[in-house]
Amino acid sequence: PYEQKLEEFSHFVYRDNEAEKFNGKWNQEVFQNNFPIVAEIGSGYGEFMLEYCQNHCEINFVGIDYRFKRSYQLAKKLSELPHPNFRYLRAKGERLQFLFGENEVSEIFYFFPDPWPKTKHNKKRLFQIPFLKACHHVLKNDGIFWIKTDHDKYYEWMLEELSKQNYFTIELQTRNLHEEMPEHFLALYKTKFEKIFLKKGTHTKVLVLRNKKNVT
């Protein structure tokens, strides 16, 4: 039922592969401006998207998630915002390189992804070399990739994957964002999940990566 309900917001919600026709043409055909494009992979309940895109009207925000009910609930909230500087994609992060053209995105946000904690499920984790390659492709040179996770083992996995690649340099890393960098903008925006984790005493782990186009 939520798939059908999303049709109500078809002026800013694109489902499945609908958005892939805009690959390389988001500024011209969708937003019709030259503002920087930022993408959030896994927008979840939308706390970050709702607040950030309204605090930054000088950007074009593209949120991405795949769950129908959650997407519909977020779309209802987005429809009430005064500044329409956003689009929402009911799509998978694995399709990133099909959604955006080369050098089309200025920043990527990737907050509290599913850690797939069981060892037999680790292979389902999105954060692997093919995903990093896709992010490298769509990001501009010197574009920023912002990452937050509560999961210690997934954080270690990310560091291991980063040791295998030469697409990004690590600009910042911390295992305790809110105690070590309480004034950092990543600490000022807290998602629904993050608030729950913090109440339980779980630290927020952060990686900030800078894209480098002059490497292979």
Q: By three-state DSSP, how is residue 210 classified?
A: strand
Q: Any catalytic annotation for residue 114?
A: yes
Place of tokens 């995105």: 105
Place of tokens 């907050």: 111
Residue from 16, 114, 142, 152 carrying the catalytic annotation: 114
Are 115 and 154 within 8 A, CB to CB? yes
- How far apart are alpha carbons 44 and 194 in whole angstroms? 12
Specify the DSSP class assigned to residue 21.
G
Among the listed residues 82, 43, 80, the one whose alpha carbon sits nearest the alpha carbon of residue 61: 43
Structure tokens at 146: 């912002």
Structure tokens at 15: 């489902």
Strand partners, 207: 147, 173
Q: What are phi and psi of 161, to 5 degrees?
A: -65, -40
Specify the DSSP class assigned to residue 80.
T
Residues belonging to the active site: 114
